[in-house]
Amino acid sequence: MPEIFLNGQAVEAGAEQTVLEVALANGIHVPTFCWHPQLSTAGNCRMCLVEVEGRGLDIACNMPVSAGMKVFTDSDEVKAHRKAILQFITLNHPVDCGICDKAGECTLQDYHYTYNGEASLSRDEKVTSTKYYNLSNRILLDNERCILCLRCTRFTHEISKSMALGVERRGDVSNIRPVEDRPLSEDPYSDNIVDICPVGALQSRQFLHKARVWYLKATPSVCPGCERGCTIQVWHRKPEWFLKSLDQRQNTSIARITPLENPAVNGPWICNKGRDLARIFERTRAEEPMLKGRPVGIAAALDEARRLIGAARHPVALVSNWGSNEELETFKRCLGEVFHCHVKRDWLPEDGERVQDDLLIRADKNPNSAKARELFHEVGDPVIDEGTDLVLVWGEGFDFARVPRQAKVIFINSYLQPENGHADVFLPASIQTERRGHYTNFQGVVSVFEPCFEKKPGVSHAEDLFKALATPAREHA
């Protein structure tokens, strides 16, 4: 392996590495706009200029290492060039940070503060361009903020393979535009270009003018949208910035969802379905136990459930593959010998949804089928024998018309549904954003999700419900 010198320090470099990669691997920050570790090298922003002894200035992102080379990443000449490049970029970039959703996490903002810090030298009017151009039903483009780093176009060509974006015209009138007959709205990974845009040019309609990022915190979680189990960040309001007036629901709602980079599962990407989890998690909740539709306390509901379990001779349980590893293990330990257990599929592909591809999306639209299969062996469409006299349904996705007429029903669910009131006993359970747990994906990788919000007062964690039902159930087993 060749040895090179970075700012006078000898470091080992891989034979195929670039100077930029070696610098970053050794904790030396080199600023970039257009470079991204998962994309091809464009070399058009010139922010990563470094000085090589005997060769002068060159871009680090496209410079292969050679043995003995001496590189300076922070020399006076490098600083002067970075400052000049930022002056050039901000000649026409609007200073509208006060209304830009990228403020607080904008690379241009950060670099201007670090490497430039001066007002624009230009006294000419800025070149104006298209504002709020509709790239798709999910993404807006502000061409005045765009610095033509081309990360977005390379993403659609190299990662999602939709080939949906290109550059129209040349010079200072160049614009990012959709490619004819290749709509970005049909790219199920399109929202990743909002994340990788280094400025505020690409804007998510979901998050537009919704919150300032410094009011939010990111909680690590796992996308339950398919068995890939992509790791994500769930952004929600910090307690110290809770709203005391206006819409207080914002204090306990999801502001946005972004990828949590994980080389073992999803890399730095997630699909658009993962961005839309608020649509699933923030449905109307069921918040109180019921007996045949009549609200009761949790103690009365548990007593009746225990009585039904104790009286049953042929009980069947339909286990949720949205349950965490801990919940599935608790059910197996506490109730697995009492019930004949089937694992059902809580969710199936929706109309128009991409079912599977070669990047991330998997056909099984449930997060924990692997762990459920390990514990209960069966995952699929369970058939309930006519002799069944008690059915415990945990989670969604089961047609209650398939329950034998004589069978009693215990239903454990989180959302307001007609079946809640039809069950003999209904027990409301917490959801993923209210508890801690783990999912095991189809490759056997285990990922953790953390709670974002307090659980509702009237609901219980599923693990606690299983434990509460277990003792009398075992006595009658």
Residue 354, CB half-sphere, CA atoms under 13 Å: how many?
17
Q: Are residues 15 and 80 in the same domain?
A: yes
Q: How many domains does the chain have?
A: 3
Q: How high is the pLDDT of residue 477?
A: 39
Mean pLDDT (10-residue bins), the chain, 477 residues: 91 92 96 97 95 94 94 96 94 91 95 89 86 95 95 98 93 87 95 98 95 96 98 97 89 97 98 97 96 96 96 96 98 95 95 95 97 88 89 96 95 96 97 98 98 94 96 51
Q: Are residues 46 and 17 in the same domain?
A: yes
pTM: 0.93
Q: Are residues 195 and 272 in the same domain?
A: yes
User: Which two structure tokens, joined as six digits, stand for 55?
Assistant: 């060769």
Chain-centroid distance of CA 381 in Å reads: 29
Q: Are residues 406 and 332 in the same domain?
A: yes
Q: How high is the pLDDT of residue 126?
A: 87
Q: How high is the pLDDT of residue 472?
A: 62
Q: Are residues 298 and 408 in the same domain?
A: yes
Is residue 468, in this structure, part of any structural domain at all? yes
Is residue 294, in this structure, part of any structural domain at all? yes
Q: How high is the pLDDT of residue 427?
A: 98
CATH code at position 294: 3.40.50.740
CATH code at position 36: 3.10.20.740
**Quick one: 438 exposed, middle or buried, by C-beta within 10 A (0-12, 13-18, 19+)?**
middle
Q: Distances from the Cα of 122 to the Cαs of 90, 98, 334, 417, in angstroms?
A: 9, 21, 73, 61
Q: 405, 407, 406, 411: which is closest to 423 by C-alpha?
A: 411
